[in-house]
Chain A
């Protein structure tokens, strides 16, 4: 698939924003390490809203005909994309009201505040599920057609959220041991789950050029694609990544998305260094951005079979 920056940003930033909001709700529900004070809550919810907005804006940038974007809320009965749009928009009033409530009452964990925070967090988690299902329902792309996709989206989104929250606590000088522990646990789980995913998609399977053309018992080779230069199909679906390069990018991804944030968080927790905490937050966003780029570029649509690939 063409790794369009718009869709990478959509799933990356909105996933992180929703994960952050869900964790804010959990932390204030259970008063983890005293909970977040009003200022910490405001900053976290604001970051979450900014992230979700970056995601939403870049998703509209991806549309070729954005004037019809409002229609995307109409087919929620069948389309996960429509469902995602609806829940993403529904997130705003609850997160926004929580922000205002905390700002005016300075009570992030009273019952009204908690109801708003939990609803926002829940809607955020539902949106992440819809986002994952947008890809997971496509039988045309073997690398996406697996429940591991929404599972990955969950752990990555929550991992980004937890890292940002832990970094914020350290920057504010508040006790952060439980926050760092939560972030490390989520990042490790995300890394393991991604490893399972990579193992899964590396096994061959799915349609071949033979089943695509119907000559099931013969060798089939492309003689001519029938077009002089690229078409929409080759531009949108033709991208590949040579195996050696994919391995290197994956190593880089594991380093930036998981190793650096975990090390930086541990260091920041020990020394109270705000710079290390910020590095952790930045690295996790960049690293999972690389993971999302891989997610798109490694997806091999079956239409490539008709352009001569033996299998996808």
Chain B
């Protein structure tokens, strides 16, 4: 098995709900707590397993906002594991999930240097490295209904922009999505072979905004706006 996520950049609305759900679930999970520093202070900061960044791609008028969630990619060539001197970082043979044993980590930061995707963050309170667990304490939990055995971020996403599954199974929804939508890996030139894949935004014709004939209703609205403004 090769478990991982597919992120749909076409539908992600950048609401940060997955990051919040991740933090909520995992702060009481196996690698919790996800410490906050100065949560109500002047410079709030803290540990997150999942961060969403926002980019503008292309040039006007063919530009577009792309919201970009990133968590651990559970790489096949996980150099973060190779470089760890204590054996705290490991990759599970059975499903490819990369984890940090909090009881072994000495907080040397070396693995975070080796991760290209910024997936690892040191918790200054515990002195240990923390990262996405692929919600290992949800996906194998036999106590919860089967349809809920998915990562917290996947379940919570209001835009269904996240999918969880097995990339080794060519007929799994994630494999099919990658195949059909041209899913890709980030920074392939570094050869980490990340499991997580990203689906590119679908190509749409730009919505014209200039030189359009105004409809009667729009004309009335524009006139009302002018009048009201005065």
B127 near A64 (CB under 8 angstroms)?
Answer: yes
Interfacial chain A residues near B189, Cβ < 8 Å: 207, 211
Interfacial chain B residues near A139, Cβ < 8 Å: 79, 116, 190-191
Q: How far is the CA of A107 from the CA of B107 in the complex (A)?
A: 44
In the complex, whether B87 has a CB less than 8 A from a CB of chain A is yes
Q: A64-B128, A218-B58, A230-B43 are in contact. Are A81 and B108 (CB under 8 A)?
A: yes
How close is B92's CB to chain A, nearest CB, in angstroms?
16
Residue of A nearest to B80 (CB): A140
Find residues 221-247 in chain A having any chain B CB closer than 8 Å to their own CB: 221-233, 236-237
In the complex, whether B16 has a CB less than 8 A from a CB of chain A is yes
How close is A273's CB to chain B, nearest CB, in angstroms?
43
Q: How many residues of chain B are within 8 Å of chain A by beta carbon? A: 59
Contact of A236 among B68, B87, B109, B128 (CB under 8 A): B109
A65 near B106 (CB under 8 angstroms)?
Answer: yes
Contact of A219 among B57, B66, B114, B127 (CB under 8 A): B57
How close is B59's CB to chain A, nearest CB, in angstroms?
6
A79 near B84 (CB under 8 angstroms)?
Answer: yes
Residue of B nearest to A209 (CB): B55
A224 near B54 (CB under 8 angstroms)?
Answer: yes
B112 near A236 (CB under 8 angstroms)?
Answer: yes
Q: How far is the CA of A237 from the CA of B122 in the complex (A)?
A: 13
- Bits for B101-134, please: 1 = Cβ < 8 Å to A, else 0: 0011111111011111110011010111000000
Q: How far is the CA of A272 from the CA of B14 in the complex (A)?
A: 71
In the complex, whether A93 has a CB less than 8 A from a CB of chain B is no
Q: A214-B184, A233-B118 are in contact. Are A226 and B83 (CB under 8 A)?
A: no
A221 near B113 (CB under 8 angstroms)?
Answer: no
Contact of B118 among A72, A78, A137, A306 (CB under 8 A): A306
In the complex, whether A171 has a CB less than 8 A from a CB of chain B is no
B65 near A140 (CB under 8 angstroms)?
Answer: no
Find residues 130-155 in chain A having any chain B CB closer than 8 Å to their own CB: 134, 137-141
Interfacial chain B residues near A302, Cβ < 8 Å: 116, 187, 190
How close is B201's CB to chain A, nearest CB, in angstroms?
9
In the complex, whether B200 has a CB less than 8 A from a CB of chain A is yes
In the complex, whether B30 has a CB less than 8 A from a CB of chain A is no
- Bits for A116-138, please: 1 = Cβ < 8 Å to B, else 0: 00000000000000000010011
Q: A232-B47, A236-B109 are in contact. Are A75 and B55 (CB under 8 A)?
A: no
B121 near A232 (CB under 8 angstroms)?
Answer: yes
Interfacial chain A residues near B65, Cβ < 8 Å: 223
Q: How far is the CA of A78 from the CA of B83 in the complex (A)?
A: 6
Residue of A nearest to B16 (CB): A226
Find residues 183-213 in chain A having any chain B CB closer than 8 Å to their own CB: 207, 211-213
In the complex, whether A173 has a CB less than 8 A from a CB of chain B is no
B43 near A65 (CB under 8 angstroms)?
Answer: no
Contact of B83 among A137, A214, A307 (CB under 8 A): A137
In the complex, whether A169 has a CB less than 8 A from a CB of chain B is no
A226 near B126 (CB under 8 angstroms)?
Answer: no
Q: A219-B57, A229-B45, A303-B118 are in contact. Are A140 and B110 (CB under 8 A)?
A: no
Q: How far is the CA of A236 from the CA of B121 in the complex (A)?
A: 10
Interfacial chain A residues near B112, Cβ < 8 Å: 232, 236
In the complex, whether B172 has a CB less than 8 A from a CB of chain A is no
A62 near B187 (CB under 8 angstroms)?
Answer: no
Q: How far is the CA of A226 from the CA of B104 in the complex (A)?
A: 31
Interfacial chain A residues near B103, Cβ < 8 Å: 68
B113 near A140 (CB under 8 angstroms)?
Answer: yes
Residue of A nearest to B115 (CB): A140
Residue of B nearest to A79 (CB): B85
Residue of B nearest to A68 (CB): B106
- Bits for A278-312, please: 1 = Cβ < 8 Å to B, else 0: 00000000000000000000000111001100000
A220 near B55 (CB under 8 angstroms)?
Answer: yes
Q: How far is the CA of A233 from the CA of B47 in the complex (A)?
A: 10
Interfacial chain B residues near A66, Cβ < 8 Å: 106-107
- Bits for B64-94, please: 1 = Cβ < 8 Å to A, else 0: 0110101000000001011111111000000
A214 near B87 (CB under 8 angstroms)?
Answer: no
Interfacial chain A residues near B86, Cβ < 8 Å: 68, 71-72, 74-75, 82
**Which are the 7 A-B pairs with shortest beta-carbon distances?**
A64-B107, A65-B127, A64-B127, A82-B85, A71-B86, A68-B106, A65-B107
Further 4 A-B residue pairs, CB within 8 A, beyond A220-B57, A229-B43: A65-B107, A71-B104, A140-B115, A226-B54
